[in-house]
Amino acid sequence: MQRILTGIQSTGIPHLGNLLGSIHPALALAKKSPHPALFFIADLHTLTTQHHPQKIKHFTYATAAAWLAAGFDTQKDHLYRQSHIPQVCELTWYLTCFTPYPMLSNAHAFKDKAKQLSHVTAGLFTYPILMAADILLYHATHIPVGKDQQQHIEITRDIARTFNHQYGPLLTIPQAQIKQNVAIIPGTDGRKMSKSYHNTINIFDPEPTLAKTIMQIKTDSTPLNQPKNPDTCPLFNLFQLLATPTDAQQMRTNYLTPGYGYQAAKKELLHLILTTFSEQRKTFTHYMQAPHLLEKILQASEAKVTPIAMKTLSTLRKAIGIRP
Ligand code: ADP
Ligand code: TRP
């Protein structure tokens, strides 16, 4: 059975990179599947870098509201908090005992994050094992993620294979689903859009804040009266991702036309974002003002996924030899 699963940390309000790189492709994939998809808020992963209780609470709701705004199907699919299914921690321990230490110390995401921090916790180091448990606990088959998560899925596959080698084919080997055209959405400085680079475009921000962000997108210094190169410009790249092919072609022509400036292109991008996400922005605000509705949706899903987690663990405990 095809089981689609993905998670997003509650480290902030989901940004355009999260939406285009992860949430939208995940929802599109789920729509095509007759089976319920599993989407979750990786609040235990959030703890590796965020220790402020109020922020964790707020961003957990904001992440849930973003999934709902993006079109999450409350009738078919599940949206839950990772921490509310504590079985994931037990599985993490079993998998930890099958994970070679060098595999973790060589992980790109760990090395990148560790470089930016003054002290590095064991939680950050074992982050990929918790992620493997997120996936393997539910026998997930298809994992829609951005390209930065590819190595984590490879690690998950390796751990599952090692475990299966010992106990037989108990864990399902998952596959990453990476959409190439949205694999790396650029941020306002042209690097990968990421909360850790402070270069995000937050489509759920109030309009004046969003406008300010768009106006800050970095462009080169080609003078107004000269043609500009759309193919090396993050601003054009962002426009193209959201526009119809005809509008993207028109923007390409504008770039090649002397006299068309980056200021005008930025205004068009802002307009495009506001129209594209108009309904999503309203739905997001609606849910953020009604946390009891979010609680209801999350709790209903948590009740549905718990039995799946319990079943997996019951099989694994027996196989390992710690239950008769
Ligand atoms: P951030 O880097 O901002 O902390 P997360 O690590 O929370 O983002 O990412 C959540 C999901 O969104 C992951 O599947 C990730 O691959 C995807 N994602 C994040 N940023 C981008 C981006 N710039 N382009 C494409 N996908 C992205
Ligand atoms: N590590 C992922 C990220 O930062 C979030 C995540 C946690 C995840 N567990 C997962 C993604 C399981 C897919 C499947 O984006």
Between the CA of 146 and the centroid of ligand 2 the distance, in Å, is: 10
CA distance 132 to 125: 13
User: Rounded to 5 degrees, what are φ and ψ at 261?
Assistant: -105, 165
| pLDDT band, very low/low/confident/very high, at 21 (cuts 50, 70, 90) | confident
HSE of 224 in the Cβ direction (CA atoms, 13 Å)? Answer: 6
Mutate to test the pocket of ligand 2, among 8, 92, 125 (most ligand atoms within 8 A of CB): 8
User: Rounded to 5 degrees, what are φ and ψ at 69?
Assistant: -65, -35
Mean pLDDT within 291-303: 98
Residue ID of nearest Cα to ligand 2 atom 11? 7
State the pLDDT at residue 83: 98
Ligand 1 atom closest to Cα of residue 195: 3
Tokens coding 213: 């962000």
Q: Say whether pLDDT at 80 is over 90.
A: yes
Residue ID of nearest Cα to ligand 2 atom 13? 6
| pLDDT band, very low/low/confident/very high, at 196 (cuts 50, 70, 90) | confident
Show Cβ contacts of residue 304 under 8 Å, excluding neighbours closer than 6 positions.
36, 78
State the pLDDT at residue 181: 81
Q: Say whether pLDDT at 121 is over 90.
A: yes
Cα(first)–Cα(last) distance of the chain, in Å? 29
Residues in contact with ligand 1 (CB, 6 Å cut-off): 8-9, 11, 17-18, 21-22, 145-146, 148-149, 182, 184-185, 192-196
Q: Say whether pLDDT at 282 is over 90.
A: yes
Amino acid, res. 279: E
| pLDDT band, very low/low/confident/very high, at 276 (cuts 50, 70, 90) | very high
| pLDDT band, very low/low/confident/very high, at 230 (cuts 50, 70, 90) | very high
Tell me the percentage of the chain whose pLDDT exceeds 70.
Answer: 100
Tokens coding 279: 């309904």
Contact, 30 vs 142, CB < 8 A?
A: no
Q: What is the mean pLDDT of the chain?
A: 96
Mean pLDDT within 51-59: 97
Between the CA of 176 and the centroid of ligand 1 the distance, in Å, is: 14
Contact, 136 vs 171, CB < 8 A?
A: yes
Mutate to test the pocket of ligand 2, among 5, 45, 112 (most ligand atoms within 8 A of CB): 45
Mean pLDDT within 119-123: 95
Helix-helix angle 262-276:278-288, to 10 degrees: 60
State the pLDDT at residue 26: 96
Mean pLDDT within 28-54: 97
Residues in contact with ligand 2 (CB, 6 Å cut-off): 5-9, 42, 45, 131, 134-135, 143, 145, 149, 152
CB atoms within 10 A of CB 270: 18
Taking phi over 0 as left and psi of -120 to 50 as alpha, with beta for the rest, 168 belongs to: left
Mutate to test the pocket of ligand 1, among 19, 22, 56, 178 (most ligand atoms within 8 A of CB): 22
Contact, 38 vs 8, CB < 8 A?
A: no
Residue ID of nearest Cα to ligand 1 atom 2? 194
Between the CA of 152 and the centroid of ligand 2 the distance, in Å, is: 8
Mean pLDDT within 31-57: 97
pLDDT single digits (tens) 300-319: 999 999 999 999 999 999 99
CB atoms within 10 A of CB 112: 12
Between the CA of 9 and the centroid of ligand 2 the distance, in Å, is: 7
Contact, 68 vs 287, CB < 8 A?
A: yes
Contact, 284 vs 133, CB < 8 A?
A: no
Give the DSSP per-residue string, 17-62: HHIIIIIHHHHHHHHH-SSPPEEEE-HHHHTTT---HHHHHHHHHH
Residue ID of nearest Cα to ligand 1 atom 18? 18
CA distance 80 to 65: 12
pLDDT single digits (tens) 144-169: 998 889 999 999 999 999 999 999 99
Q: 194, 198, 65, 43: which is closest to 123 by C-alpha?
A: 43
